[in-house]
């Protein structure tokens, strides 16, 4: 019971207790049977939006246009079939038979091909300017210098995290932060 009801003076506590329980049960029952007072249903759609008359009219116009074009093509094809299919699409005029700058284009293509071959021969015959053997030798020297000045040994590629912990702990490093940073670098 809440404090306000307990503070109210009553003549019979048992009857009051039953009355309060009955009121609470009735209240809970009303809460269970309560219906929504707000309409959550979607709004009713208007009929003119469902039918889409403008779109249907455009589609029908396009279909009728296609049909008229098909009829025109059919008439033309039937005319060609009736006249033995003779189509005048040849032009025997000499001025359309050849290109005026055909020889010039051919000479230009040969010149470009010749220049490309010369460039290719120069590239293939050129000696390299970088000495990769010297690079490898310098890399080995740099690795030796790095191993001399570094605090930790350079791990091999097959080193696992367990081996790192035992290796570092054997050297006297027990700081977990350093171990974690070292693992992150791998």
Q: Where are the beta strands (DSSP E) in 28-183?
A: none
Give the other-Cβ count within 10 Å of 183's Cβ. Answer: 13
Written as six digits, the tokens of 27 are 């209240």
Q: What angle do CA 179, 180, 186 make, to 5 degrees?
A: 95
How far is Cα 165 from Cα 180, in angstroms, rounded to an integer?
10
Tens of pLDDT, residue by residue, the chain (186 residues): 566 666 778 888 888 889 999 999 999 999 999 888 888 888 888 877 778 888 899 999 999 999 999 999 999 888 878 876 666 666 666 666 667 788 899 999 999 999 999 999 999 998 888 888 899 999 999 999 988 887 777 666 554 544 544 554 455 544 556 656 555 555
Task: State pTM to two decimals.
Answer: 0.25
Cα separation, 94 vs 77, whole angstroms: 31
């Amino acid at each position: 019971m809440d404090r306000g009801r307990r503070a109210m003076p009553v003549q019979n506590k048992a009857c009051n207790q039953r009355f309060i329980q009955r009121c609470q049960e009735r209240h809970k029952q009303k809460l269970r049977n309560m219906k929504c007072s707000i309409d959550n249903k979607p709004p009713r759609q208007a009929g003119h939006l469902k039918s889409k008359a403008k779109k249907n009219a455009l589609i029908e116009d396009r279909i009728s246009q296609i049909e008229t074009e098909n009829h025109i093509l059919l008439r033309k094809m039937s005319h060609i079939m009736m006249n033995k299919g003779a189509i005048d699409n040849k032009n025997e005029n000499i001025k359309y038979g050849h290109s005026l700058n055909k020889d010039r284009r051919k000479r230009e293509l040969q010149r470009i091909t010749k220049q490309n071959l010369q460039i290719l021969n120069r590239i293939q015959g050129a000696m390299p300017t970088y000495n990769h053997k010297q690079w490898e030798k310098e890399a080995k020297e740099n690795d030796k210098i790095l191993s001399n000045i570094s605090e930790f040994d350079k791990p091999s590629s097959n080193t696992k995290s367990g081996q790192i912990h035992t290796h570092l702990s054997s050297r006297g490093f027990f700081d977990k932060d350093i171990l974690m940073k070292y693992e992150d670098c791998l």
